[in-house]
Structure 1
């Protein structure tokens, strides 16, 4: 897995695979969900440079190998390493589709895995913690400054090794004892010369690299110290600001507390005043109600006395009228009795004149007259019939047939 070539595409694929391996072993549940219950292989590389790497996912596990594989689930072949590195750096599935149309790459197999790769690409670049964002932003100029230096060193090293490789190929292609002009040559001298040149170039590159790295390191340290000092200053300023805000907040709290207490006292006084006013109103209403009740009571008593007096007057008047009626009734009764007595005297004289038996009383005569009448009810006979003084002289009961 660590067999990395000095090829941009192979180096990039190796870095991607290494990052995915780290994520697979981490506790990132979102990334692990992209690996679970999956089993496939993705092969990427370039035929021009014969650079290939294979990513394999097997039920939650991720691995990479620096070679081709038989029957990959998805195969992506770029026309050259630089094109592949550029397309991969974009991390966009749409760029791959455009690349297919432009002939920059060829794909075979399950195209849906391209979408899977697009999903995991979001996890490849680690997120910078928010507190470190300002430091990263300030460190970018240093990185931009160091990048050309590193590229220059890499280009020189690549150029040197390319020349060396060509020299070795030339030496290997030539005869051990004759050169192109067919003249004898000393192979041992040539080999020693090449090795000496390699050593000198290696030492030179190493020294330059160490100088540049020392320079960048020194600059970075200075920048870091500057950033550290700035951060400490900012922290101190922040602390002072916090203390100031805290003090201001405490003062505000005290002011608000005092204001609240004043308001509470004011509200309490107003409430007590309202309560006193309410009590006075209540007493006033109570006194008014008592006066009203007394007036109504006096009026009622007067009305009762008035009604009582009127009733007594009416009763006296009724008694007088009743006595008058009673006297009148007695007079009428006496008058009727006198008439009856007169009538009775006439009947006695008539009976004596006719030599008849002694006359019966009026009641007896009535009973004899109606002796054969049908009796409807025993209680029809009353004292009024039997009483000789009664003005009622005859009662006839007729029953309809």
Structure 2
């Protein structure tokens, strides 16, 4: 793609050079349209990666304020990154759309309701205790929640059960390995998971300590920053990244293990996010290099022989942030099969379920349509349980799925000596 950024802007601004390089990589082939969930759903070229690239090019190249048209179609992007898996030219769509969202946030004044919803999301989601109380309010209001329209109703709908008001990893601590210590790791504490399903973290701790990992819940760690970053709030996202880099660097760990794939994609990109801050860049790159999904670390350690094989058919839902964002495709399935489960995959497994972080709240109707499509493909497998590696997907799918939903680590923990996941009845 030909670009026309001025030489002065290219010389002065690294992000302008980045946008220029990314745009020039695109060859207009359109392969991305076939795997883009919003294009498949809506059939609008501007709701495809290629169409959005044209919109971003015009906006960034001419350094002009975002228009309502641009905002509409960029907001509809799930950031599922399926396009990056498909693209034969290696277009770095992730960083281009992130740059576009920052530009939108700086140059476009949203309608009052949009501003209110985004302010609530940015204020509540990155803070576990605030999120807990918000979910408790939503749970108490569940008799009338279905009558609340639009995005506020979608927020209330997240509270599908009473939230947990405490979890086993709420405080900084070191949890010793069982037997010989093979590795010292930091376990990232996600913002919403301790409230929505603290058993996922408990299962992760049991599973990793059983495999010889000493686990550090580092003092000072917090939200990965994804929730605000995806809304174009660059500075809050950077502040959260700095706090985590500081905490995990001080902890002196071999790996940073993440059991929420959306967070993992973000943490692995800290080196890029903080690249322009000399005092942070080196440590950020080091932490990004240490970051691994829990399935990666288990595959590297080698899953112990299952002590309690379970003849369950598992429908594996690959979270976009795992299969596209981190390019982790085989490890979760291989681990489940090694643990004795029969794993089945839905058709169109590459398409997003519609959760996508805050997307299910900011774009509730599109998210609902994508969820319905995904649930239909999962039900067609006639499995006993649905497993995934992302709490956002699990909570989103629960609204329509008539099957138990569990995190992959819960099934692995059960097979290697842990308790039965609460979602699975005897």
Q: TM-score, normalised by structure 2?
A: 0.22
Which structure's CA Rg is the greater one?
1
Tell which has more relative contact order, 1 or 2 (C-alpha 8 A, sep 6+).
2
